Amino acid sequence: MKQRSSNDWTVADSAELYGIDRWGAGNFCLSENGQVLVQVEFPEGPVSLPLSELVAGAEARGHNCPLLIRIENLLQARVELLNESFAKAIAESGYRNRYQGVFPVKVNQQAEVIKEICRFGKSYSHGLEAGSKAELLLALANLNENSLLICNGYKDREFIDLGLLSRKLGIDCIFVIESPSELSIIIDRSRELQITPLIGLRIKVSAKVGGLWTETSGDRSSFGLSTAQLIEVVDQLRQEQMLDCLQLLHCHLGSQIPDITEIRAGVREAARFYTELSDEGVPLRYLDLGGGLAVDYIGNQSQHSHSRNYDLPGYCRAIVETVAETVDAKRVPHPVLITESGRATVAHTTLLLFNILDVLQFEPLALPERRPDNLHQLVAEQFALNLQAHQPSPANYKRALSNRDQIRDLFRAGEVSLRQRSLAENLFLSIARKTLAWLDQNPDVETELPQLRHQLADIYYGNFSVFQSLPDTWAIGQVYPVMPIERLNEAPTRDAIISDLTCDCDGKLAGFILGHSESPTLPVHSLDADENYILGVFLIGAYQETLGDLHNLFGDTNVLSVKLNADGSFDVVRETPADSVADVLLQTEYNPQELFERMRSRAEAAVRKGVINLQERQQLLNEFSTRLQGSTYFNH
């Protein structure tokens, strides 16, 4: 990769460094003047818009960073692409049935997202999957006609009653049995309400998949029936003369499956279950293969857990062909194919934009020109190492590092003063910086000091909370594409980790993909005075919004749903203002009015004691009241 200090840095170098053409999947790219663009296909041709214009448009509407932006067009494109790709694979392979997808609500439950998925999926009868009572309710109210409502997860009587009653409206609500205990409730309630249920069975396949969710399948998975339980449930349904209700077989191998051969193996096993049960006279119609279609977060099309070694057409072909081959062997009719693709449907649509508030640099402060007298011998040596006469080299650096650590020991033992320690540490930073500059000129030697660049990295403080907006980066080490949204025609000469606003050392982004390798630091530009330097975090539409929490009481950010138009303009379809301080206090059992009243009493008492005057009291209470209604984030 090109030297980042070079004067002839181009937009193409930035594209290569941040990998935007690989993970951007045609949705994000760079303009000639160094801006990140969101790009949307229209019949008239592609339209692109700089993200900086979206930020300006949001600010003009009163919504500052941090901003969560959903691009509706990208959601539409994903829903269409998923359905069209299956249709193509089915047509090309001569598969004798159809695809009918569902969106698993848990991957993004936000009202706007669900509403739009149903709207864009209407012509494909794209349905929903619900895993809790709250999800069932929102799914029932949003579901398109002729779409499926698949109910996974554990279900109680209330859940089952509502699902059964919805059948009276003609809704194809299918209860997927996860554990044998659910069956008796379904049988009892359907008899009582005199409504015929639609039933699915979730199986545990033994084929294992790689990635972060290997525990989802296999004997010890917490969901689904063992083969013995499966047979028992089938026999019970037969005995109850309810075998007709059993129409769907379900399995979920895991999320974000990186390897297509493992998907094929899992699908083959599921299709074998389907074939055998059909052979036994179970009138199955649907084979639901769950989620697992991965997103290439790092854009290198590999078996890395954040990537995948296949594309969407390849995924569809693998499923269609494998199911056809397996059921054909026993002359069983081809089932309707269902997948519950979550992250691959919504990841690309959402991005987080936040501004940098401050920077901490690990640079030496001013050093004395002449060596001070009476230095400890190790500090004196540090001084000498820093002089030009010593060429920077890994050996000199290691010597300076050892000196620094010994000087710290001596300080702890009371043998070196604070001022000498300060000088020694400052000298060490100077030596380290010179060594790093020398390594830039001699990249082959960097292997000897692999950590140096990261140890000297700046800390860029971002106006966001990892725990609220990007919880998976903290919880499971998820890596998302992160990059500045402007100045990409300039070399990013600094390396930084990105710290958030929480007072938590875990509140940081310290895992990035650069070129084709992982790095704990992100190349960034040095900040100009008063610059509103904005970083974008991309592909975050799956799981993040509802998994996020209130750590340090940073609330939901401003959210804008945006639609690009063919003429290059954009509409803000929906704007949801960020949580106010009062909102987050309410969520943590405080009553903001009561807090205000307590503050008022305190101020009143202070006036009585003559500690503050009435004007100061008023100023304090006005400020308290305004802050209650204000944002939990920094205003710039």
Ligand X SMILES: Cc1ncc(COP(=O)(O)O)c(C=O)c1O
Residues near ligand X, by CB under 6 A: 104, 107, 129, 152, 252, 255-256, 290-293, 340-344, 542
Tokens of 308: 């995948």
DSSP class per residue in 329-364? TTTPPPPEEE----HHHHGGGEEEEEEEEEEE----
517 beta partners: 514
- Before 450, cis peptide (omega within 30)? no
Copy the structure tokens of residue 12.
């193409």
Do 562 and 571 meet the contact criterion of CB atoms below 8 Å apart? yes
Comparison of 346 and 424: residue with beta carbon closer to ligand X:
346
Cβ 102 to ligand X, closest distance in Å? 9
- Nearer CB in complex with ligand X: 73/255: 255
User: What are 535's strand-pairing partners?
Assistant: 354, 484
CB atoms within 10 A of CB 378: 18
C-alpha 272/C-alpha 576 separation (Å) is 47
Smallest distance, ligand X to C-beta of residue 292, A: 5
* Ordered DSSP codes for 156-174: -HHHHHHHHHHGGGT-EEE
What is the smallest separation between the CB atom of 270 and ligand X, expressed in angstroms? 13
Residue closer to ligand X by CB (options 136, 431) is 136
Which residue lies nearer to ligand X by CB, 223 or 411? Answer: 223
User: Minimal distance in Å, beta carbon 213 to ligand X?
Assistant: 7
Angle at 487 between CA 482 and CA 490, to 5 degrees: 105
Q: Residue with CB nearest ligand X?
A: 291
At its nearest, how many Å lie between ligand X and the CB of residue 273?
16
Least separation in angstroms between residue 132's CB and ligand X is 12
Question: How far from 330 is each of 17, 173, 278, 325, CA to CA, in Å?
Answer: 52, 29, 10, 9
Burial (CB count <10 Å: 0-12, 13-18, 19+), residue 228: exposed
Minimum CB separation from ligand X for residue 86, in Å? 14
Query: In terms of CB distance, is 163 or 592 closer to ligand X?
Result: 163
Nearer to ligand X, 255 or 631 (CB): 255
CA atoms within 13 A on the CB side of 33: 4
| Smallest distance, ligand X to C-beta of residue 291, A | 2
Residue closer to ligand X, measured from CB, 457 or 542: 542
- The smaller minimum CB distance to ligand X, of residues 50 and 101, is found at 101
Considering the complex, what minimum distance in angstroms separates the CB of residue 261 from ligand X? 17
Please say which residue, 153 or 492, places its beta carbon nearer to ligand X: 153
Could you tell me how far CA 459 lies from the centroid of its own chain?
22
Q: For residues 325 and 320, give the distance between their C-alpha atoms in angstroms, rounded to a whole number.
A: 9
